[in-house]
Amino acid sequence: MSGDPDDAPARYVFRVTVRLTPGEGLAVEPDRFETVLYRTANPPGEDGWLFFRDTLWRGELADEAHFRRQATDALGVPVESASFSELQTTEAYLDALRAAIAADLDAFNAENVTEVLSKYLGSSIRVE
Protein backbone atom coordinates (compact mmCIF):
# COMPACT_ATOMS: atom_id res chain seq x y z
CA MET A 1 0.00 0.00 0.00
CA SER A 2 1.43 3.34 -0.96
CA GLY A 3 0.39 6.86 -1.71
CA ASP A 4 -1.84 9.38 0.00
CA PRO A 5 -5.35 8.01 0.68
CA ASP A 6 -6.73 11.47 -0.13
CA ASP A 7 -5.47 11.09 -3.71
CA ALA A 8 -6.43 7.44 -4.18
CA PRO A 9 -9.29 6.37 -6.46
CA ALA A 10 -10.60 4.28 -3.55
CA ARG A 11 -10.05 4.09 0.16
CA TYR A 12 -11.39 2.19 3.14
CA VAL A 13 -12.79 4.30 5.96
CA PHE A 14 -12.69 3.20 9.60
CA ARG A 15 -13.76 4.81 12.85
CA VAL A 16 -11.22 4.18 15.57
CA THR A 17 -11.04 5.16 19.20
CA VAL A 18 -7.50 5.84 20.36
CA ARG A 19 -6.14 6.25 23.86
CA LEU A 20 -3.31 8.57 24.80
CA THR A 21 -1.05 7.49 27.64
CA PRO A 22 1.20 10.40 28.59
CA GLY A 23 4.34 9.92 30.62
CA GLU A 24 4.66 10.31 34.35
CA GLY A 25 3.58 13.70 35.62
CA LEU A 26 1.54 14.44 32.47
CA ALA A 27 -2.18 14.24 31.79
CA VAL A 28 -4.39 14.77 28.76
CA GLU A 29 -8.11 15.40 28.43
CA PRO A 30 -9.73 13.64 26.88
CA ASP A 31 -7.46 10.64 27.06
CA ARG A 32 -9.65 8.80 24.52
CA PHE A 33 -11.12 10.13 21.30
CA GLU A 34 -12.62 8.91 18.07
CA THR A 35 -10.99 9.67 14.76
CA VAL A 36 -11.31 8.53 11.18
CA LEU A 37 -8.67 6.25 9.69
CA TYR A 38 -8.32 5.98 5.91
CA ARG A 39 -6.54 3.14 4.14
CA THR A 40 -5.78 3.30 0.43
CA ALA A 41 -7.50 0.51 -1.50
CA ASN A 42 -4.95 -1.27 -3.64
CA PRO A 43 -5.74 -1.41 -7.37
CA PRO A 44 -7.79 -4.50 -8.28
CA GLY A 45 -5.59 -7.42 -9.26
CA GLU A 46 -2.48 -5.97 -7.61
CA ASP A 47 -0.86 -7.14 -4.39
CA GLY A 48 -3.09 -6.29 -1.42
CA TRP A 49 -6.29 -5.76 -3.41
CA LEU A 50 -8.05 -8.54 -1.49
CA PHE A 51 -7.89 -6.53 1.74
CA PHE A 52 -11.69 -6.32 1.77
CA ARG A 53 -12.04 -10.10 1.47
CA ASP A 54 -9.46 -10.80 4.15
CA THR A 55 -10.62 -8.12 6.61
CA LEU A 56 -14.36 -7.54 6.24
CA TRP A 57 -17.52 -9.59 6.51
CA ARG A 58 -20.90 -8.09 5.65
CA GLY A 59 -19.53 -4.59 6.17
CA GLU A 60 -18.03 -5.33 9.59
CA LEU A 61 -14.49 -6.13 10.69
CA ALA A 62 -14.17 -9.91 10.69
CA ASP A 63 -11.54 -9.80 13.48
CA GLU A 64 -11.66 -6.48 15.29
CA ALA A 65 -8.93 -7.40 17.79
CA HIS A 66 -6.51 -8.19 14.96
CA PHE A 67 -7.38 -4.97 13.16
CA ARG A 68 -6.93 -2.97 16.40
CA ARG A 69 -3.45 -4.44 16.81
CA GLN A 70 -2.54 -3.54 13.22
CA ALA A 71 -3.93 -0.02 13.65
CA THR A 72 -2.09 0.39 16.95
CA ASP A 73 1.18 -0.54 15.23
CA ALA A 74 0.48 1.78 12.30
CA LEU A 75 -0.64 4.76 14.37
CA GLY A 76 1.76 4.39 17.29
CA VAL A 77 -1.01 4.81 19.88
CA PRO A 78 -3.31 2.22 21.45
CA VAL A 79 -6.51 1.68 19.46
CA GLU A 80 -9.32 0.67 21.79
CA SER A 81 -12.06 0.12 19.24
CA ALA A 82 -12.43 0.06 15.49
CA SER A 83 -15.26 -0.27 13.01
CA PHE A 84 -15.49 -0.23 9.26
CA SER A 85 -17.53 2.63 7.81
CA GLU A 86 -17.33 2.37 4.04
CA LEU A 87 -15.36 1.95 0.87
CA GLN A 88 -15.17 5.36 -0.82
CA THR A 89 -14.52 4.86 -4.51
CA THR A 90 -14.73 6.26 -7.98
CA GLU A 91 -16.92 4.60 -10.58
CA ALA A 92 -13.80 3.59 -12.54
CA TYR A 93 -12.26 1.85 -9.51
CA LEU A 94 -15.53 0.07 -8.74
CA ASP A 95 -15.77 -1.13 -12.34
CA ALA A 96 -12.20 -2.46 -12.14
CA LEU A 97 -12.98 -4.12 -8.80
CA ARG A 98 -16.05 -5.81 -10.26
CA ALA A 99 -14.04 -7.04 -13.25
CA ALA A 100 -11.27 -8.45 -11.03
CA ILE A 101 -13.81 -10.22 -8.84
CA ALA A 102 -15.65 -11.61 -11.89
CA ALA A 103 -12.38 -12.99 -13.24
CA ASP A 104 -11.96 -15.18 -10.14
CA LEU A 105 -15.36 -15.84 -8.53
CA ASP A 106 -14.11 -19.17 -7.16
CA ALA A 107 -11.75 -17.30 -4.82
CA PHE A 108 -14.82 -15.76 -3.20
CA ASN A 109 -17.02 -18.85 -3.09
CA ALA A 110 -19.80 -16.86 -4.73
CA GLU A 111 -22.15 -17.08 -7.70
CA ASN A 112 -21.71 -13.50 -8.92
CA VAL A 113 -20.02 -10.16 -8.26
CA THR A 114 -23.01 -8.64 -6.46
CA GLU A 115 -22.94 -11.51 -3.97
CA VAL A 116 -19.22 -10.93 -3.34
CA LEU A 117 -19.64 -7.20 -2.73
CA SER A 118 -22.56 -7.83 -0.40
CA LYS A 119 -20.77 -10.67 1.41
CA TYR A 120 -17.74 -8.58 2.27
CA LEU A 121 -18.71 -4.91 2.08
CA GLY A 122 -22.41 -5.11 2.89
CA SER A 123 -24.02 -1.92 1.67
CA SER A 124 -21.00 0.18 2.63
CA ILE A 125 -19.81 1.35 -0.78
CA ARG A 126 -19.96 5.05 -1.62
CA VAL A 127 -19.22 6.13 -5.17
CA GLU A 128 -17.95 9.68 -5.41
Q: Which domain holds residue 30?
A: 5-127
Q: What is the pLDDT of residues 68-101, one digit of tens each?
A: 999 999 999 999 999 999 999 999 999 999 999 9
pLDDT for residue 3: 61
Total number of domains in the chain: 1
pLDDT for residue 62: 95
pLDDT for residue 4: 76
Radius of gyration of the chain (CA): 16
Note whether 114 and 49 are within 8 A (CB): no
Read off the pLDDT band of 39 (50, 70, 90).
Answer: very high
Cα torsion 22, 24, 27, 31 to 10°: value is 40
Examine the pLDDT at 1 and tell me if it is beyond 80: no
